[in-house]
Amino acid sequence: MSVSRRQILSGGAAAGVGLTVAGVLPTLADPAAAHEGNRPGGGPSSGGRPFPPLKDDPNGILALPEGFSYTIVTREGSTQMSGGQGPTPAYHDGTGVVADGHNKLTLIQNHELTPHQSVYGVPHIAGTVYDPGAPNAGGCTVITTDGLGRRTGEWVGISGTVRNCAGGVTPWGTWLTCEETTINAGATWSAGGRTGTYEKHHGYVFEVLQAESGKQLPKPIKAFGRYDHEALAIDPDLRHVYLSEDASSPNGLFYRWSSTDGKRLGLGIANTLSDTAGKLEAMQIRLDDGSILPDVAYLTSAQLGRPFKVTWVEVPDRDATTKPVRTQFADGTVTRGKKFEGVWSTRKGCYIVNSFAFGANDLPADATKHDGMVWFFNYADQTITLVSYFPHNPAAEGEGPAPKYADLTFDGPDNVTVTPWGTLVLAEDGVRASHVLSSVPGGPTYAIARNMLSTGTSNGAPVYSEFTGPTFSPDGKVLFVNIQVPGITLAITGPWQHYLG
């Protein structure tokens, strides 16, 4: 999530009501089988009740509905990591629960940092370092809690990486962390009164284990390509991986990696795949006449619920040795999209988010501006369906405080997760108010939390950081979510099943 909507508008806001479509999303009784396909007869999917209004927090951190409460799990610079590794790093981003046991949960969390961007970068701990030339930069921490989200431990999982944005949980209980950058070895950095030189290329996916720092595998999975990675989903067949790219000028792509020798993925991907293993391809959305949709922004709410066939074209140079991967394709030969962001897998397919496209260079001149899209990609059918649409609202882009009805209008969905009941939770990266959202497949979108912790002001109005990394405990008791600035991980408990089940 390199450039937020808030940064573009410099404090202005654009609010959009999310439109969703009935009859094309999951039967929610089986969360693992989210999106079972079209349901005859239409009508909203089951599951999801309106949440009560948000109540302001007397501590000024998180507004929640009646009956819900939160615990702070980690806080940048304040909570301390195990073994004297120092304070919790900053810029919390994508997060996943990778394991649960008897009253124990294990999370792995990204920190989206460049060298010395923050006083609280990810420290280089022996056994975790990828690039020694990227000190105090990005990486991941491994966090353990009890069954209610109360922290019991934290340590570095990988360090020496750059701008770890989102990623994805693997079926075998590890975390794939994505670098949203393509900085080259030999490039220099300067921050915090320090300068340095990167020793290795960046822009890769890495696997982070639940293990302690000395037993990690800080090795890039080069087979998945080198570009501005955002998030990914592993097909349950373990032979395909779907990956999003958050990039612009030109807009990013959605990719598929495929095993070509029949081997299935498993623990230690970087050790089992050669740099050129399998095949990396870019998505082409096909229209009825067989032509390629050049940009997702050409689709609007009028196409909600309509599956489009997807084909794939192979990436010529996946390691971007001479030019960025996305520029290896001429416009019109692939389907581009502004801010391909969160991706989350189910048994049948994966959900994909585009955050927004409204600036002059965000989309083709004859396409339609929007404040967010959510898609469902069906693994078996190889189709993609627009399932939620946030229309653009330019009238709301003025400067000033958040509108009175800020808890009813939303923009800039980013990270996504599927709840144990099959509904979606979205992290809003909007302009004024920032929310955690409950998005009911085939139904409405509700605010379930609002950030109250202002990071400053812009033109007299408070500025609130985005939410990141929503992820549920497998039993549905705890929703973990982060405020990115200042970096705080929160464990929210309450009657989730009553509202989402």
432-444 pLDDT, tens digit each: 789 999 997 667 8
Share of the chain above pLDDT 70, in %: 88
Distances in Å between the Cα of 494 and the Cα atoms of 64, 435, 441, 476, 497 are: 10, 17, 21, 10, 9
Residue 145 has pLDDT above 60, yes or no: yes
Distances in Å between the Cα of 136 and the Cα atoms of 121, 158, 196, 363 are: 4, 12, 11, 35
More confident residue, 398 or 306: 306
Average pLDDT, the chain: 90
Residue 407 has pLDDT above 90, yes or no: no
| pLDDT at residue number 401 | 63
- Report how far residue 342's alpha carbon sits from residue 446's, in angstroms, rounded to the nearest whole number: 19
pLDDT band at 20 (very low <50, low <70, confident <90, very high): low
Prediction pTM value: 0.92
| pLDDT at residue number 207 | 99
| pLDDT at residue number 10 | 39
- 3-state DSSP call for residue 396? helix
Say how many C-beta atoms besides its own lie within 10 A of residue 470's C-beta.
27
pLDDT for 367-383, tens place per residue?
999 999 999 999 999 99
Residue 478 has pLDDT above 50, yes or no: yes
Residue 395 has pLDDT above 70, yes or no: no
Q: By 3-state DSSP, what share of the chain in percent is helix, strand and coil, each rounded to 5?
A: 10, 40, 50
Contact call for residues 345 and 263 (beta carbons, < 8 A):
no
| pLDDT at residue number 23 | 36
Element (H, E) at 6: helix 5-9
Distances in Å between the Cα of 50 and the Cα atoms of 30, 173, 189, 478 are: 21, 33, 48, 19
Residue with tokens 């089951």: 46
List the single range of 375-379, 402-406, 415-419 with lowest mean pLDDT. 402-406
More confident residue, 419 or 35: 419
| pLDDT at residue number 403 | 66
Residue 389 has pLDDT above 90, yes or no: yes
List the single range of 118-132, 243-257, 447-461 with lowest mean pLDDT. 447-461
- Report how far residue 292's alpha carbon sits from residue 309's, in angstroms, rounded to the nearest whole number: 10
Share of the chain above pLDDT 90, in %: 81
DSSP string, 272-325: HS-TT-SEEEEEEEE-TTSPBPSBGGG--GGGTT-EEEEEEEE-S-TT-SSS-G
Say how many C-beta atoms besides its own lie within 10 A of residue 77's C-beta.
15
pLDDT band at 21 (very low <50, low <70, confident <90, very high): very low
User: Strand 175-179 vs strand 164-169: parallel, antiparallel, or unpaired?
Assistant: antiparallel
DSSP state of 369: -
DSSP state of 498: H
